[in-house]
Amino acid sequence: NAGVTQTPKFRVLKTGQSMTLLCAQDMNHEYMYWYRQDPGMGLRLIHYSVGEGTTAKGEVPDGYNVSRLKKQNFLLGLESAAPSQTSVYFCASSYSAHRTYEQYFGPGTRLTVT
């Protein structure tokens, strides 16, 4: 079991460039999430998905798009990168929407936008 994996691990973009971050989970979880982590701010939810083919906005969705074409994959896209999107991005998944269930996290993608 690989759990939650993310590619790439690191990326440097110039302002205005686009990229896609890939998240994959092998636990058959319905629910998947994208967070960004910034110093002193903890993790903030960007977008989430409650099942294949569905996505929804989280707390900080502006500048990002997502897709969940397959249950095991959740993609995060940046159409036109900005320096404010320099961050560490984490993907997570959970078995259930119930509050008692933990979320499982990937190792993160460190993105720098110059």
Shortest distance, position 77 Cβ to another protein, whole Å: 20
Does 34 bind another protein (CB under 8 A)? Our answer is: no
Q: Which residue in 12, 27, 50, 82 binds another protein (CB under 8 A)?
A: 50
Residue 27 touching another protein (CB under 8 A): no
SS (H, E, C) the chain: CCCEEEECCEEEECCCCCEEEEEEECCCCCEEEEEEECCCCCEEEEEEEEECCEEEECCCCCCEEEECCCCCEEEEEECCCCHHHCEEEEEEEECCCCCCCCCEECCCEEEEEC
Least distance to another protein, CB of residue 15, Å: 26
| Residue 60 interacting with another protein (CB under 8 A) | no
Q: In the complex, which residues of this chain contact another protein (CB under 8 A)?
A: 4, 31, 33, 40-45, 48, 50, 56, 90, 92, 94, 96-103, 105-108
